[in-house]
A and B are shown apart, each in its own frame.
Chain A
């Protein structure tokens, strides 16, 4: 444009001289620490003495890598057709969950709250729940309302089952409307626990209401379908990848929970509250499927127990299948559960991605990495590192349990590339900061929340997992399947190459790499 006016943004504006002067001048009123004190404290925070104290913390949690249960419940609810997530308790929680998911997916995250206040704390939240159901059904016309709880409702001990029954008795909602509910206290587990509880509740509620008796493998009314669970899945692209793989097998399937519609809806000029999702009528039929394959293990434990116990199906649970080996296992599992042969096109695709890995391996080999994420993501990432010659060094899982730790350690112990790794559960990103500074790595892999520690340690960050707030559209690209391996490989190798350029001495600013 010809009439361009220079308009400095916040990056350049505050570097300009008047603002630098202002910043210095303001210190007169701040009673700030002296520059020397700050420098010393910074140096101290990078010492091994500090690291030891950091790891000796008993109660203080700084920059944890986990969220709370109802966030996961909201995501689980949005995996079903025309389902409105309803969070019973204080209303601020719902505002936070919706914002958090919108910041990651760059998509709307519809959900309502029963908006409890002080009187709810005293008298319980029944009238809030009943009014809330009536209002939300009138306004947002859901075909199912999935109720979860905030810690307020949990602490005062609201009885969801009784409240929902009363809502039906009072005529606030009809008998036809399924209202699965899950207790999702924020003071135990994490977002993945809440996902699991809500998913299990939705599946069991719809199954129980249907009157269908599970006849596993009968294929009755189902075609001979396979059930798939992706769990607390931050990548809409992963759903697309699984669809692609299943299409190659030419098998029928049902996703038990598919929020890819709601979190990747088209801009058409109109907004609907509900996009895609598992059809409610498909859920009870899923009881007769050939089997259920879950691509997260630690995130959907209770759900898989239910499917095993009540539907008595063949089940296979695996952690996020990242990389070639894990994808091979995914493909084998589908073949095993459906009895179908592995399609040639997947074998071809595998070959092409392995080819890409052979091209890039010199840049990956021996690269030391730090990993942060949910347990299933970490298992996947560890496998990917080990099969490509990268060496995991620091692994932090704020919401991992002992089972996860043992599995991760066994994986690492089985590979020479895992020799340097330590797995930490229940630790946070302030611990990671110490680890990155004390024992440096080449790459940090994790969510946007890792950007602070990565910056302090001067390590490039590969954004993988949840939440990714500060980069766009990564969630649209799969990280699972052969395609996902290629996507991750491309991001990682090009980050390494970018760093080679940036760190070059001029003469080795090489044209060909």
Chain B
């Protein structure tokens, strides 16, 4: 089971029978099984970036989550106001693990929950006056804050507040950039529009605003790395070792200055294309900066990406690149020879965000694992077009699947590992299916680069091969003992 096209089609058909007709007709369009044609041309018909059906238990979040949670939140030297009622900021406080150096509350404001805590009166009379006071009080309480972003929650857009006017006025008064972001949660169909709105705000308020003292031929930007568990650091180290100079990191461990000087780079490297493609295309258009996607998951893709990056520079960089790869290859070989025999042939199912459902494939493959079904919460058509060619025939691809669908598929496909988020994690533990959170790296990481792959491999092994799974069904432990004894 796993990669049989007809059998998988049947599984999906039967699974969708549980839906009322209207919802079934919609959900049918969000599944596709990979075949030769799709692999060759990628022109899939799978529907994406559409509204979730009500009541189906989608995993998706909202535009605020995409803006505050993903794009803006990691900018460490700014204070990000969760503007509206208390909840949104409370639930997104310190949970994404976008690491940042600095002293929390002094010159780093990432793992904090700063909110206007709207009350009924703010809904009735508007929150603009309150917002002004809040900006002043931020300046008083956090004198080293280099800027403020205003992350709108649902009510702000519904009651007609003019946060743009407040931002303009207060920015002039306080002498720091204050950036209004219209990322109300009801906008769009998922986090994705929030990314776009956040990107537009960076473009309108910070991009191109500052100069870089000295420019060099090897200046590049890391775009779309949120430094989950230190991912951006584990990536940057390789680029720097290769002789490139990373002048801006967007947005993990990022600063307002890096947002404002990035236009001076010679090349944009984009990791999470879904959430920041808008910026690299904008910088290409406005400043002529070329960009390329890269993938630092797993040694195969990392080496491929390093070489592709080096190819855009001179021989000196290309030579360094080979040296970097040569330096890490023995370490990677050791990791693979240790873990691959323990993971070979293990079947994986993924449902993650808008990138990792395809970007992590290589890392699993390096360990001999097979991804039998994968898909995204909030990807767009171009993401799917890039996904099909990466996978063998028969792989199930889904878009915005519901909890019900994922659970059915996980059981029918008899998988060995599920990779998704915290809302799903404990369901799979009940089912006895090993699980890794692939948003937060399950409190581990980094997973990017060579240092990250070591941790990735170790984590996958401990998750799949932990003896605890044998305890779930009484009697299974006896089997284990027999196996260990070589019976």
Interface residues of A (CB under 8 A from B): 3, 5, 7-10, 13-14, 18-19, 22-23, 25-26, 29-33, 37-38, 41-42, 44-45, 53-54, 57-64, 66-68, 70-71, 86, 89-93, 95-100, 102-103, 106-118, 120-121, 128-129, 131-140, 150-152, 155-156, 185-188, 190, 265-271, 430, 433, 449, 452, 456, 469
Contacts and interface: CB of A to CB of B under 8 A. Distances in A.
Given A38-B103, A114-B55, A117-B51, A92 B137 contact: no
A18 B445 CA distance: 17
Given A22-B233, A90-B62, A91-B62, A115 B52 contact: yes
A46 B75 CA distance: 24
Contacts of B451: 8, 13
A95 B56 contact: no
B359 interface: no
A110 to B, nearest CB: 7
B62 A271 contact: no
A190 B113 contact: no
B458 interface: yes
B409 interface: no
Contacts of B421: 99
A430 B402 CA distance: 39
A7 B445 CA distance: 11
6 contacts: A5-B454, A96-B92, A115-B53, A116-B186, A188-B120, A267-B432
Given A63-B112, A267-B429, A117 B249 contact: no
B90 interface: yes
Contacts of A61: 86, 114-117
Contacts of A70: 87
A57 B255 contact: no
Interface string B114-136: 11111110110000001001100
B158 interface: yes
Given A90-B186, A152-B154, A187 B60 contact: no
Given A70-B87, A92-B191, A134-B23, 9 more contacts: A23-B233, A61-B115, A92-B63, A93-B62, A95-B60, A96-B91, A108-B424, A155-B159, A456-B104
A135 B137 contact: no
A138 to B, nearest CB: 5
Interface stretch (B6-14, B29-37, B140-148): B140-148
A49 B446 CA distance: 40
Given A93-B62, A93-B185, A58 B54 contact: no
A182 B455 CA distance: 46
Contact of A135 (B55, B133, B158): B55
Nearest to A61: B117
Contacts of B105: 45, 430, 433, 452, 456
Given A59-B133, A108-B430, A114-B54, A135 B20 contact: yes
B312 interface: no
Contacts of B428: 271
B412 to A, nearest CB: 14
A145 to B, nearest CB: 9
Contact of B57 (A68, A139, A452, A469): A139
Given A121-B158, A265-B430, A63 B113 contact: yes
A44 B105 CA distance: 12
Contact of B155 (A19, A116, A151, A456): A151
Nearest to A172: B20
Interface in B414-439: 421-432
Contacts of B445: 10
A272 to B, nearest CB: 8
B59 interface: yes
Contact of A133 (B55, B87, B424): B55
Contact of A270 (B134, B424, B430): B430
A450 B347 CA distance: 41
Contact of B189 (A86, A110, A117, A136): A117
Interface string B1-43: 0000000000000000011101100000000000000000000
A86 B55 contact: yes
A68 B154 contact: no
B64 interface: yes
B86 A135 contact: no
B65 A131 contact: no
A134 to B, nearest CB: 5
In order of increasing CB-CB distance, the 3 nearest A-B pairs are A92-B62, A68-B87, A132-B55
B403 interface: yes
A99 B95 contact: yes
A103 B422 contact: yes
Nearest to A449: B93
Given A68-B85, A91-B61, A134-B20, A271 B54 contact: no
Given A60-B114, A267-B430, A30 B86 contact: no
A19 to B, nearest CB: 6
Contacts of B63: 92
Interface residues of B, number: 119
Interface in B218-261: 229-230, 233-234, 236-237, 240, 246-249, 253, 255-258, 261
Contacts of A185: 85, 120
A67 B90 contact: yes
Contact of B87 (A30, A71, A120): A71
A274 to B, nearest CB: 12
B26 to A, nearest CB: 10
Interface string B152-176: 0111011100000000000000000
Nearest to A139: B404
Contacts of A8: 451
A199 B22 CA distance: 33
B240 A25 contact: yes
Given A92-B64, A117-B186, A133-B55, A190 B86 contact: yes
B95 A103 contact: yes
B57 A10 contact: no
Contacts of B19: 135, 138-139
Contact of B426 (A19, A33, A100, A106): A106
B257 A95 contact: no
Contacts of A433: 105
A155 B158 contact: yes
B141 A29 contact: no
Q: Which residue of A108, A156, A188 has the most chain B CB atoms within 10 A of its CB atom?
A: A108
Contacts of B88: 92-93, 96
A470 B101 CA distance: 20
Contacts of B246: 26, 29
Nearest to B458: A7
Nearest to B424: A108
Contacts of A102: 422-423, 425-426
B116 A95 contact: no
Contact of A152 (B20, B61, B119, B155): B155
Given A38-B107, A92-B61, A31 B423 contact: no
A59 B86 contact: no
A268 B19 CA distance: 27
A307 to B, nearest CB: 27
B338 A92 contact: no
B480 interface: no
Given A9-B444, A19-B233, A66 B104 contact: no
A168 to B, nearest CB: 15
A150 B430 contact: no
Given A33-B144, A91-B60, A187 B85 contact: yes
Contacts of B157: 121
A329 B445 CA distance: 49
Contacts of B85: 68, 151, 185-187
B344 interface: no
B274 to A, nearest CB: 17
Contacts of A68: 85-87, 90
B407 interface: yes
B189 A62 contact: no
Contacts of A115: 51-55, 58
Contacts of A120: 186
